[in-house]
Structure formats: C-alpha cells, structure tokens
Chains A and B, each alone.
Chain A
Amino acid sequence: MLLDAFNALMDIWVLVAAIVGIVTGIIIGAIPGLGPTMAIALLIPVTFTMPPIPAITLLLGVYQGAIFGGSISAILLNVPGTPSSAATAIDGHAMAKRGEGGRALRIALYASVAGNIFSCFVLIVLAEPLASMALNFGPAEMAALMFFALLVIVLFGGGVRLDAALMVLLGVFAGIVGLDPIEGTPRFTFDSFAMENGLQLIPVLVGLFAMSEVFLKLFERRSANQGDMDIPEILPSKVRFIDMWRMRATLLWSSLIGTFVGILPGIGSTVPAFMSYSLARARSKQPNKFGEGADEGVAAPEAANNAVTGGALIPTLALGIPGDAVTAVILGAFMLQGLAPGPFLFRDYGIEVYAIFEALILSSIPTIIFGLLLFKIAVHVIRIQPRHLFPTITILALLGAFSVNNSLVDVWVMLGAGFVGFLLRRSGFPLPPLLIGLILGTPLEQSVRQALLTSNGNLDIFWNSHIALSIIALTAICIVISVAISVFKNKRHQGSSDV
C-alpha cells in the first residue's frame, strides 16, 4: 500500500503543487493576521479542477508553510505572523536583536521540519487508534487538561509567577466578553452587536504583540542621537546537525505535546507551543538563558506548533470531525476531491490518502530549500531603519485586524489591545500568559459547565474519569515540584549569603 502510494507521487504536478503550496504558505504566514485558514480557503477554488493528490498536497503545503512562516516575522520583527508563533518570538527575537536572526530562523526551520515529520509519521501509523482515543476526552477531561495547560504556563513559563497568574486571569476575564457559551446570552457586550463575537484572537494578538511594539517605540525617550540607529551586525548563522542533535529530547517532547494536543479538538497550536516552551525551560540546566535567546527556546515551540498539523488531521480524516477552523476547511477540500473523510476514507481511498501523507513528509525537502533561500533575503529586514519599519508594522497590523472579519470593530479592538499591551510591557508584565488565558478561558468555562450539565451538577465526574484524575494528579505534582524548587533555591541563596 505504502509503495503504491509512493508510486502515485511520481508526478511532476505533485512536486509543483508542493512547492507552490509551501512558498505561498510561508509568505502568507509571515504576514500578521493572514493565517493558514484564509490562505487555504482562497486556494480551494483553484484546486477544483486538479486531481486529488496534487490538490490536497497544495493545500496541506500551504497549511505547513503558513505555520512555519509565522515564525519569520516573530523572530525578525517580534510580530508573530500567526498566534502559534508568539512563543517563538520570545527567544527568537532576542537572538535576532544580537544579530543572530539567521541562526534563529534556521533553528526554527529545522525544528519545524522535525515536528512535522514526527507528527506525519504518527498520522500514518496510528491515525485510527488515536482518533478513537481522542473520543475519550469528554468535557471533564478537556477541562482538566486546559486547567493543567494554564498552570504549566504560570509555573514554568518564566518570570515572576504572581505576574503570570495575574495575566492569565486578565486573559480569562477578557474572554468572558461575548455570548455565554452555554446559555447563548450576551455578556459585557453593552448591547453592541459586534461585541457578541467577543474579543477575537487575531486582533488581540496583533495588538498585544505588534501594535504595542509600535507604541513602545513611540513613547520611548529619544536618545541624543536622532540619526540612524545602530544596526546589529548580521552574524554567521550556521546551524550544524550536532546543534540540533543536542536538542533531540526537547524536539521529541515538543513534537509529542504538539501531536497530542493537535488530536484533541478546540485547543489549537498556540497553547502547545507555549507548553513546550515552558517544559523545555523547566527541563533546561540553564533556565536563565530562556528569554534571552536560547536555542531551545526557539526549537521547542516551533517543533510543537508544526507537530499540531499532523495531529489535527487525525480526527479530521479518520472520523470526519474537524477540531478547528483550518481543519474544517481542509475537510471541505477533501470532500470536494471526492475523498470524503470519515470511517471509510482509509478503506476506500487508501492509496490517495497514504500518497498525501507521504507527500507531507517529503515536502520537508522543498520546505528546507525554499526556507533557506527566503532567509537570505529576510534577515535583512533587521537592517531596516525604525522610521521605515514601524509605519510598515502599523499598516500590517491594521490590515491584519480588519481582514479577519472585514470589520472595523476588530481594528479598534486591535488598537485597544495594543495600548493595553504597551502599558503592561512598560510595567514589566509578561504578555504570553494573557494570550493563553484569552485562548483557554472560554473553552475551559464551557468544558467545566458541560461536564457539570452531563453529571447533573455532581463534581464526581472529575474524579470518576481515569483520564481526568491522572491529569489532576499531574497538575498537583507540578505544583509540588515548582514550590519545592523555589524553596530549595531560596534556602541555598540564604545559605550562600550567610557565608
């Protein structure tokens, strides 16, 4: 079967489709606000008349390319192109600021490819068993998992834990705006129809990370030297195989987290990226380096958010149940090609489906080639003078916010989020926990309430499920470890100062 599928790939159009898809994806992903969903949706009509294998290869190439492309603007400009690359920006941009942008991009590229290959491999080997495993995650299990994710970000995300906890809560509160997920009644919308959607992720993300950067620059005390800014030297950016091999454990863990969270519906790729970042930091011997440009701080989130693509395809294809907007669009594309996802997909169209999976793995080769070519041009972005760069970022931010729903309200939300982000950054609060709180707040509330609805208000539903109970136990262990570490550190610190 796998060999027949491989033979089906021996077609020049599959290669062309893969290359066009990946390059388009990388470029679209790099532009803040334009994500993979929009790119794929716009390309679907183009693929109407194409045969199934090149058509789907093209669309999935866009998906992969866009997830990776988001990290280019995150690293070079500190403006995440897609929400999932916000984690990459932390250490990636720190590296870029000291002239190692090329190196950060290469690490991101190789880590992305590693995450992608890992998750595609899982997809080929274990799609059906994992899809049925995912079904065991009901509301109670999802609630426990989301709570765990929030806690990991607070405990191991870096910085002061109280600050992170406050930011998570702020994000959760921001998520309350909109329609109540259970009753369907408006909350804090002040009778505005536009606010019934709540604060949309992309305008808030673009505001918090991109627009706040502009405000920071705007209100920065001017240096005596009004002329051109010192530009960091672009340092040699070679990343050897051994450099990546050293990070093998981080890459593996991150890929596992990405694939696993990808299989579960509704969490997306931002949360696993931050979870992997936090885990890599917690496991590191030099956690202080995180935030200041650590290699693993770039590799971990990139491996995770790319691994999500393979994971998210598992329930979409094996059950016909998409977990998010992107996979819902991909589901439509499969159907239009006559490959209806669901229980019969692998039985009826095995060769096509396996050919598509193999194309996903093989497209790592063009991803690396074209990624490296694009970097040659892209690293020079860092040399653009601020007076040219910041207006460009502003325009991209306005455009990105507007293009989500073609709505001006989103532009105001973006500007508001930008100002809030500016105030918080000036006061030294970390923004990533705020983003995670906003992403997980409503789903967490919905899951808890769904679980209690199905159990008639009985809390037992959280203890009676083995999965939920294990996750709760894991959460408790994490709290204990985290507290123990800080107590130990404090004691040692006191001990050394006594001497």
Chain B
Amino acid sequence: MSLLKTVLTGAVFSSMFVSLGANAVDYPTHPITMVVPYGAGGTTDISARKLSSLAEAELGQPIVVENRPGGSGTNAMRAVAKAKKDGYTLIATTSSPLFVTPAVRPVGYDSVKDFTPILNYSGPYHGVLVQADSPYESFDELIASAKSGTSISYGTAGAMGGPHLSFELIARENKAKLKHVPFSGAGSATAALLGGHVDVALVPAYRDLVLDSKLRLLGVLDDSRDPDFTSVPTLKEAGYDVEFPSVVGVMAPAGTDPDIVAKLEATFTKVANSDEFKEFMTKLNQPVRVMTGKKLGETIKMNLETFRQVAKELSQE
C-alpha cells in the first residue's frame, strides 16, 4: 500500500517536473543548509538530520544541518527569515516558534509573511494525563470537578506554550479552576505528575507510562487522535473548542522561486513517506505526519490567529 502510494506520488510529481522547465532542474548546484532551531541531539534535530540525509541522495547535493538553539526556536526563525531566498537555506521548525511564541510576544519575524512552507513531516501528540489512580476517568469529569470549585493544578513544559494557552482557554470558557504550573521541559512536568506534585500534566512522549499503568490519558490536545490510543478522544471531540496541533515542518524564506519550492516539496514528501524514514521515526517514538506545504501554511495561519486571540484575552486580565 505504502509502496504503491510512494510510486504514485513519485509518478505524479515527476510528471509535474517535466512541465517545470530548466530553472528547477539546475537546483541544487551546491550544498543546502538546513537550520534546526534546537540543540543537537533533540528529537527535532535527529529527525531533521535523518530526513536531510535521505533527501541528499535524491537532490544530489549535501544538506548541512546547522543547530541554532535559543529563544525557544525564535532565534533560528529570525535568522532564516532574513536569509537569501535562493533555496539554499531551509529550516526544520515546530509549532512553538511558528504560531505560539509569535502570538505571545514580539519575535522579530512573521511566520506567515516571511516563510514559504514546504511540507510537514511530524508532530508529537500532546496528551492530557493524570495519575493512574486518579478519580478522573474522563476529560469531562476533570473539568466538571474544576468547575465545581476544586482547584486543579496542571503542569506543562513551560510558560506560554501551546498546551498552557489551550488550557487557559478551557478554564476561561468553563469558569473552571485550573491552575498552571510551568516546568522547565516536558520531562520535569511528567516527573511532577508521577510524584503527585501536580494533578494533571499536558505533555508528549507518554506512551510507555500509560501502557505501564502509571498514567492515564484523558484526551489529546491535537487535531486528530493518537494512533497508539485510538479510543481516547481529542479535546474537540470531547466537546471543548480547543486544539493544539503539533507540527514539525520544513520552511524556506518567503520569495523563494516556486519551482525550487515544488522540487523540494516533492523530494521531501517522497523521503518522508519512505519506509526507512517511518521505521526510523517509530524507533524515536515520533509519528510521521505528512502534510503538503499549502496545508501546513493554512494550519500555521489559522492557529496563529487563534493563539493571538487567546494571548490577547489573557493579557486583559
């Protein structure tokens, strides 16, 4: 099935190329830089390196991965927004610097106007988790309890992140007593939940802890269900108009030649759908979620507006 899909996608795109003319065929003539906005060795870095190494073979030029950590990803975004629009500088980036941080404070770039999305290839699911012996069996029960006056504390990977803003919105709309406790990183937030220091944690990478019956998954913040836990609804399905779609995608500076963008999209889509990449991501415990550049652009635009609204409401307090 996936082989057939790969062949078909390949066929569709190669037929597209025939009509693209000589311009795109000349690209790339020298090495491409792929900027990663986080430190070397993190999941975004490791997956971007694998994707790049698979794409190298297709493009015939090396792709050099460059780590530019800091500012929760905004430093790298700012640098790439100002880079040459020749298709030789790309960025593998995530939800937070794309549509969460820019909604909260000035970052020095516009994630819609300054970038051309190429494709989305991953995005870890964020779950709403409680301890396995918690009285709350469903997300509704949790919110009902918080509405009736019980103060419920929830831990996240950091202040003003997507999970935090999403939950603030729920607290506001339902007049629920949800108290945010930010930690430095999802790992510390998970540990705090395991130790019973917070009631709820909104974190990714929960699979084994749930399977081991240490934690219980009440809902998924994403716009689709986690394939590992298909019985657990998204918050939207549970009746709360909130979602935090997690994206990991490749972008180029806005104004890059459309032919080059098309070639990159075709190449990266092909390798992201390859069995080798899927197997690799499974080991990393990361999903492969391929989305076209156009769709990624729409997701970013829509969420940027939503989160701007949330941040505005929060600051009016």
Q: Which residues of A contact B41 (CB under 8 A)?
A: 37, 40-41, 44, 325, 328-329, 332-333
Given known contacts A186-B105, A193-B74, A265-B191, A454 and B179 CB-to-CB distance under 8 angstroms: yes
Stretch at the interface among A21-29, A335-343, A367-375: A335-343
Q: Which of A305-350 contact B (CB under 8 A)?
A: 315, 319-323, 325, 328-329, 332-333, 335-338, 340, 342-344
* Contact across chains for A138 and B192 when beta carbons are under 8 A apart: yes
Given known contacts A265-B188, A340-B285, A406-B67, A184 and B39 CB-to-CB distance under 8 angstroms: no
Question: Does A181 touch B at the CB level, under 8 Å?
Answer: yes
Question: Does A470 touch B at the CB level, under 8 Å?
Answer: no
Rounded to whole angstroms, the CA-CA distance of A181 and B74 in the bound complex is 17
Question: Does B151 touch A at the CB level, under 8 Å?
Answer: yes
Question: Does A476 touch B at the CB level, under 8 Å?
Answer: no
* Contact across chains for A343 and B285 when beta carbons are under 8 A apart: no
Interface string of B189-200 (1 = CB under 8 A from A): 011101111100
Question: Does B45 touch A at the CB level, under 8 Å?
Answer: yes
Residue of A nearest to B183 (CB): A450
Q: Which residues of A contact B105 (CB under 8 A)?
A: 184-186
Question: Does A135 touch B at the CB level, under 8 Å?
Answer: yes
Interface string of A452-475 (1 = CB under 8 A from B): 011010000000000000000000
**Which residue from A38, A182, A194, A319 sits with its C-beta under 8 Å from B182?**
A182
Q: Which residues of A contact B9 (CB under 8 A)?
A: none
Question: Does A482 touch B at the CB level, under 8 Å?
Answer: no
Question: Does B102 touch A at the CB level, under 8 Å?
Answer: no
Question: Does A232 touch B at the CB level, under 8 Å?
Answer: no
* Contact across chains for A44 and B187 when beta carbons are under 8 A apart: no
Question: Does B228 touch A at the CB level, under 8 Å?
Answer: no
Q: How far is the CB of A440 from chain B (nearest CB, A)?
A: 13
Q: Which of A105-149 contact B (CB under 8 A)?
A: 134-139
* Contact across chains for B69 and A405 when beta carbons are under 8 A apart: yes
Q: Which residues of A contact B192 (CB under 8 A)?
A: 138-139
Q: Which residues of A contact B185 (CB under 8 A)?
A: 328
Residue of B nearest to A446 (CB): B184
Q: Which of B62-98 contact A (CB under 8 A)?
A: 66-71, 74-75, 78
Q: How far is the CB of A400 from chain B (nearest CB, A)?
A: 16
Rounded to whole angstroms, the CA-CA distance of A147 and B184 in the bound complex is 18
**Which residue from A37, A138, A342 sits with its C-beta under 8 Å from B197?**
A138
* Contact across chains for A453 and B179 when beta carbons are under 8 A apart: yes
* Contact across chains for B191 and A405 when beta carbons are under 8 A apart: no
Q: How far is the CB of A329 from chain B (nearest CB, A)?
A: 3
Question: Does B302 touch A at the CB level, under 8 Å?
Answer: no
Q: How far is the CB of A462 from chain B (nearest CB, A)?
A: 13
Q: How far is the CB of A304 from chain B (nearest CB, A)?
A: 22
Residue of B nearest to A193 (CB): B108
Question: Does B256 touch A at the CB level, under 8 Å?
Answer: no
* Contact across chains for B159 and A193 when beta carbons are under 8 A apart: no
Q: How far is the CB of B189 from chain A (nearest CB, A)?
A: 10
Question: Does A159 touch B at the CB level, under 8 Å?
Answer: no
* Contact across chains for A321 and B190 when beta carbons are under 8 A apart: yes
Rounded to whole angstroms, the CA-CA distance of A450 and B190 in the bound complex is 14
* Contact across chains for A197 and B70 when beta carbons are under 8 A apart: yes
Rounded to whole angstroms, the CA-CA distance of A454 and B180 in the bound complex is 9
Q: Which residues of B contact A344 (CB under 8 A)?
A: 208, 211-212
Q: How far is the CB of A37 from chain B (nearest CB, A)?
A: 7
Q: How far is the CB of A326 from chain B (nearest CB, A)?
A: 9
Question: Does A385 touch B at the CB level, under 8 Å?
Answer: no
Given known contacts A319-B194, A336-B283, A405 and B104 CB-to-CB distance under 8 angstroms: no
Question: Does B171 touch A at the CB level, under 8 Å?
Answer: no
Question: Does B107 touch A at the CB level, under 8 Å?
Answer: yes
Q: How far is the CB of A254 from chain B (nearest CB, A)?
A: 25
Question: Does A292 touch B at the CB level, under 8 Å?
Answer: no
* Contact across chains for B191 and A319 when beta carbons are under 8 A apart: yes
**Which residue from B49, B68, B214 sits with its C-beta under 8 Å from A405?**
B68
Given known contacts A405-B68, A453-B153, A456-B151, A335 and B283 CB-to-CB distance under 8 angstroms: yes
Q: Which of B40, B67, B104, B183 has the most CB of A within 10 A?
A: B40
**Which residue from B74, B179, B195, B208 sits with its C-beta under 8 Å from A340?**
B208
* Contact across chains for A450 and B181 when beta carbons are under 8 A apart: yes
Question: Does B144 touch A at the CB level, under 8 Å?
Answer: no
**Which residue from A41, A322, A343 sits with its C-beta under 8 Å from B209?**
A343
* Contact across chains for B191 and A193 when beta carbons are under 8 A apart: no
Interface string of A61-77 (1 = CB under 8 A from B): 00000000000000000
Q: Which of A170-203 contact B (CB under 8 A)?
A: 179-186, 193-194, 196-197
**Which residue from B45, B158, B209 sits with its C-beta under 8 Å from A184?**
B158
* Contact across chains for B195 and A136 when beta carbons are under 8 A apart: yes
Q: Which of A221-265 contact B (CB under 8 A)?
A: 265
Given known contacts A185-B105, A453-B153, A196 and B71 CB-to-CB distance under 8 angstroms: yes
**Which residue from B70, B187, B284 sits with its C-beta under 8 Å from A328?**
B187
Q: Which residues of B contact A137 (CB under 8 A)?
A: 195
Question: Does A407 touch B at the CB level, under 8 Å?
Answer: yes
* Contact across chains for A453 and B180 when beta carbons are under 8 A apart: yes
Q: Which residues of B contact A386 (CB under 8 A)?
A: none
Question: Does B24 touch A at the CB level, under 8 Å?
Answer: no
Q: How far is the CB of A24 from chain B (nearest CB, A)?
A: 15
Rounded to whole angstroms, the CA-CA distance of A411 and B250 in the bound complex is 30
Q: Which residues of B contact A40 (CB under 8 A)?
A: 41
* Contact across chains for B159 and A332 when beta carbons are under 8 A apart: no
Question: Does A42 touch B at the CB level, under 8 Å?
Answer: yes
Rounded to whole angstroms, the CA-CA distance of A484 and B71 in the bound complex is 47
* Contact across chains for B45 and A41 when beta carbons are under 8 A apart: yes
Q: Which residues of A contact B262 (CB under 8 A)?
A: none
Q: Which residues of A contact B67 (CB under 8 A)?
A: 406
Q: How far is the CB of B278 from chain A (nearest CB, A)?
A: 14
* Contact across chains for B71 and A193 when beta carbons are under 8 A apart: yes
Question: Does A416 touch B at the CB level, under 8 Å?
Answer: no
* Contact across chains for B209 and A180 when beta carbons are under 8 A apart: no
**Which residue from A135, A182, A456 sits with its C-beta under 8 Å from B194?**
A135
Question: Does B160 touch A at the CB level, under 8 Å?
Answer: yes
Q: Which residues of B contact A320 (CB under 8 A)?
A: 205, 208-209
* Contact across chains for A454 and B284 when beta carbons are under 8 A apart: no
Question: Does B112 touch A at the CB level, under 8 Å?
Answer: no
Given known contacts A138-B192, A321-B187, A454-B153, A193 and B181 CB-to-CB distance under 8 angstroms: no
Q: Which of B267-317 contact A (CB under 8 A)?
A: 280, 283-285
* Contact across chains for A332 and B153 when beta carbons are under 8 A apart: no
* Contact across chains for B208 and A328 when beta carbons are under 8 A apart: no
* Contact across chains for A342 and B159 when beta carbons are under 8 A apart: no
Question: Does B6 touch A at the CB level, under 8 Å?
Answer: no
Q: List 22 A-B contacts (CB under 8 A).
A: A135-B195, A138-B192, A139-B192, A139-B197, A182-B182, A184-B158, A193-B78, A194-B71, A194-B75, A266-B184, A319-B190, A320-B205, A321-B187, A321-B191, A321-B194, A329-B40, A335-B283, A340-B285, A342-B208, A406-B68, A446-B182, A453-B181
**Given contact pairs A41-B39, A181-B182, A453-B179, a sample of 11 additional A-B residue pairs in the complex whose CB atoms are under 8 Å apart:** A135-B191, A138-B192, A138-B196, A182-B159, A320-B209, A335-B284, A336-B284, A340-B285, A405-B70, A407-B75, A450-B183
What are the 6 tightest A-B residue pairs by CB atom distance, in nearest-first order? A184-B159, A138-B197, A41-B40, A329-B41, A41-B41, A135-B195
